[in-house]
Structure 1
Amino acid sequence: MDISIVLNLHDEAEYVSKTLESLEQAMVYAVKRGVQIELIVVIDNEKDDIGTIVEQFNFSVPSKIIKVKNCSLGPSRNDGISLARGEFVAVADGDDLVSANYFYDSFVFIKKLEKNKDRVIVFPEYVMHFDRFCFITKFVDSDQFSAEDFAYFNPYP
């Protein structure tokens, strides 16, 4: 298994169908290019119809659905990661949308860096936020700020 995707859900029933479609498109893209993927869906403190929506979705990759009552993203994400069989773990939330090439390109990028024994975290360059206000954040490389900067601001909002 190359990549385990851990999808954490709480009360995003309004968004989860679009998220599942987005992840499915990206998983299919990667699998067609030889990447082995599994999906682990962690439903924390289930509300609304979110469990039904997920259970009725036709995933194209091996998938597990677990239900927990942590009421907290960190422990719930860790529950999913503990089940991961992939060499690499990708995380997603119930309101995330990803590009079709996201998992595949991230995997290829990591494999190139792995040859140099580099340790990396891969994340998108741009993130669009949907809330009361919609906006786009561009993330910068970590060499553009110091560890001390974290004491004053979060460069990764």
Structure 2
Amino acid sequence: MLSVVMPVYNGEKHLQEAVDSVLQQTFSEFELIIIDDGSTDGSAKIIQQLSDSRIRVLRNGSNKGISYTRNRGLEEARGEFLAWMDCDDLISPDRFEKQLAYLKRHPLVGICGSWLTRFDENKSEVSKSPTDHAAIKALLLFKPALWNATAMYRLDRIKKAGLSFDTRLTVAEDYDFYWEACRKFPVANIPESLYFYRDSDSSIMKSFEGAEEKSFAIHKIIYTKSLHELGIAPTEAQLKIHRRIGSTQLFSTYSSYLEAVDWLIYLQKRNEIERVYEPNALSEILGIIFYFISKKSSRVGLPVYINYIKESKRFAPVDLYQRIKLLIRCLIKYRRF
């Protein structure tokens, strides 16, 4: 019924834990496809010693990259459903059981993800994302809204839609994939953390921290598609504003903050014409993003808070507690996100 695909590249440190986390699931009728993407550490030796009959091992021979490896997983999977698993993470023992049950209750949903818990040696934190299709689609205008590691697919929907991972993208390949998927069929997230993401130095995203130009070059491929749908032929400057809004970059001046706010207002107006996004869902997401960029601008001080109160009526507002938090941040000119 289920194929679980685990790409592996130099993951020896936590690989055994990740495999055990899959093999100990309450739902047991699955195949675990481990794809070694040309590892040069001890990963191959660990994989060779695995003895469970549900495990199928594939090797790329040389390092082909994550998009190539994910596409190979899509081709090799034999199950009705497919779930991803990263080689240094952990999952709740009932993850597969709960996601399969959700997909059976919601036959129109083609992809089901969940919330996830980010953890390291010192702390853990639950990362939440929208649960319904309209809000997920709207958030994808700015940033990922369905984490690939948590995703479970109806494989026939993926193949019928002709979906695959763009091999041009060395990061954010999953962001692009779900952007495309949202336009083919409904997707959803279960409002519960079923996945434990290890925030380690070996993660792909970590390798792109501090390399903003490389990351921007990749993300603007996705942003350009989104903006074209809204009837916008973006300039390089507009793409950089859009990237800054969706990233963790801080705003250091009031003018750059206002530029970002004006861009959100413009996107809302374009959607009133093009109707790409359900209006209430976009208003909700724009409200979240507006608060997000106001937090990132708190070092500017009280003018940011005053502008937030003035303009928040345009979008779905956040609650009183969040507004008070923003006020305090702006009063003390907080310089971190």
3-state SS of the aligned residue for 1:11?
coil
1:30 matched to 2:27: yes
Distance in 2 (CA, whole Å) between partners of 1:146 and 1:140 is 6
Alignment match, 1:12? 11
Bigger helix fraction: 2
Structure with more contact order per residue of length (Cα contacts < 8 Å, sep ≥ 6): 1
Please report how far the alpha carbon of residue 125 of structure 1 lies from its aligned counterpart in structure 2 after TM superposition: 2.2
Moved more, 74-83 or 126-135: 126-135
The alpha-carbon deviation at position 120 of structure 1 amounts to: 2.9
AA in 2 matched with 1:20? V
Give me the TM-score of the superposition, normalised by structure 2: 0.40
Runs of 5+ consecutive residues of structure 2 not aligned to the other structure:
148-337
Structure of higher CA gyration radius: 2
Q: Tell me which amino acid in the other structure corresponds to 1:62.
A: R
Tell me which of 128, 147, 155 is aligned to 2:118: 128
SS in structure 2 at match of 1:30: coil
- The 5 A counterparts of 1:1-157 are 2-26=1-25, 29-31=26-28, 36-59=29-52, 61-68=53-60, 69-114=62-107, 118-130=108-120, 135-143=125-133, 145=135, 147-156=137-146
Write the distance in 2 (CA, Å) between the matches of 1:7 and 1:146. Answer: 25
Answer yes or no: is the 8 Å Cα contact 1:13–1:50 preserved in 2: yes
Per-residue deviation at 1:57? 1.9
**Cα 1:109–1:129 shift into 2, 3 Å:** same
The percentage of aligned residue pairs carrying the same residue is 21
Cα distance in 1 for partners of 2:88, 2:138 equals 31
Report which stretch shifted further, 146-155 or 68-77: 146-155
Calculate the aligned-residue CA RMSD, in Å.
Answer: 2.4
SS of the counterpart of 1:7? strand
CA distance in 1, matches of 2:138, 2:63: 32
Which amino acid letter does the alignment assign opposite residue 7 of structure 1?
M
Structure (1/2) with the larger strand percentage: 1
Per the TM alignment, residue 97 of structure 1 is displaced from its structure 2 partner at its CA by 0.6
Distance 1:131 1:10 in 2: 22
In 2: Cα distance, 1:113 partner to 1:151 partner: 25
Q: Displacement of 1:56 after TM fit?
A: 0.7
Consecutive unaligned residues in structure 1, runs of 5 or more: none
Shift of 1:140: 2.3
TM-score normalised according to structure 1 size: 0.80
Report the number of matched residues: 146
Are 1:44 and 1:67, in contact at CA under 8 Å, matched by a contact in 2?
Answer: yes
Given that residues 33 and 57 in structure 2 are in contact (C-alpha distance below 8 angstroms), is that contact kept between their aligned partners in structure 1? yes
Q: Is the 8 A contact 1:70 1:76 kept in 2?
A: no
